[in-house]
Every structure is written in C-alpha cells, then in structure tokens.
C-alpha cells in the first residue's frame, strides 16, 4: 500500500466530507466529532451516485411511539439519489434488523487513514 498526503487536520470540518482524488478514484474523507478520520469511496453501490454528496446524519431508534434515541450521530451518510445509508467508520449499509424484509449485505469501499504531526494520509 502507498500513503497519500491529503491535507492537514485543520482543513477538515466535522460532518463535511473533503473530496479527494487518488489514482483516478474519488474518495470522501470525514472527520467525526471525536476527531476520528475515515475515508470511503465516493460511489454508492446501488446505482453509482456520488455518495459523499449526501447528508451526514444519525441512526434513529425508537422503543415506543414518540420516543427517539439518536445513535452514531454524524456517522451515517445518506445517498443523495435513493436514500441508502452507510456507516462511515465501517462502510456497511445501515439496516434495521428488526424489520423483516429481504436485505443484502452491501458495503462501501473504505480506506485506512493515518495522522502524523497534524498531516492526514490515506493508505491505498
């Protein structure tokens, strides 16, 4: 794997992807609220939309009507075309397993991110 310099930590805003292109591949790099950095391919596996142009959101759970809990705040990206949601840290599609419906294991390609002395690198 090769390390690619993509900027300094202060160039990244929490909740907003920084889009970079490395070797012809478009990648969205996210800084989460706890200062973790993650990188995913800017491509929705459903129909090829630019995934990282979708909103960053949370996973909402409810144990009863009118009661909502927000989990993984700022860690879910929603496809701008059809609303498929992906967990930014894992790249996995977000599915409520309580709902009985036909599902498929779908993931978005992710890349390792490292930080050294305030500089951000993607490994690929």
pLDDT at 63: 80
What pLDDT does 17 receive? 96
- The two structure tokens encoding residue 43: 């491509």
Per-residue pLDDT tens digits for 66-114: 888 877 878 999 999 999 999 999 999 987 666 666 667 789 999 999 9
| 8 Å CB contact between 124 and 1 | yes
Kindly list the structural domains of the chain, giving each domain's residue range(s) and its CATH number in brackets, ordered by start.
3-123 (2.102.10.10)
The percentage of the chain sitting over the pLDDT mark of 70, rounded to a whole number, equals 93
- pLDDT band with cut points at 50, 70 and 90 for residue 5: very high
pLDDT digits (tens, 9 = 90+) for 36-65: 999 999 999 989 999 999 999 987 777 888
- The predicted structure's pLDDT at residue 121: 98
Nearest alpha carbon to residue 79 among 69, 93, 62: 93
C-alpha torsion 19→21→25→29, nearest 10: -30
Considering only CA atoms, which of 20, 27, 25 is closest in space to residue 6?
20
């Amino acid at each position: 794997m090769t390390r690619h310099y993509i900027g300094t930590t202060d160039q990244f805003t929490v909740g907003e992807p920084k889009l970079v292109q490395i070797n012809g591949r478009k990648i969205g790099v996210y800084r989460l609220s706890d200062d973790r950095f993650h990188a995913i391919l800017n491509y929705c596996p459903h129909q090829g939309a630019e995934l990282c142009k979708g909103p960053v959101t949370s996973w909402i759970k409810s144990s009863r009507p009118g009661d909502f809990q927000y989990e993984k705040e700022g860690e879910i990206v929603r496809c701008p075309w059809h609303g498929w949601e992906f967990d930014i840290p894992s790249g996995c599609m977000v599915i409520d397993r309580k709902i009985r419906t036909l599902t498929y294991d779908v993931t978005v390609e992710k890349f390792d991110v490292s930080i050294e002395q305030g500089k951000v690198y993607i490994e690929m």
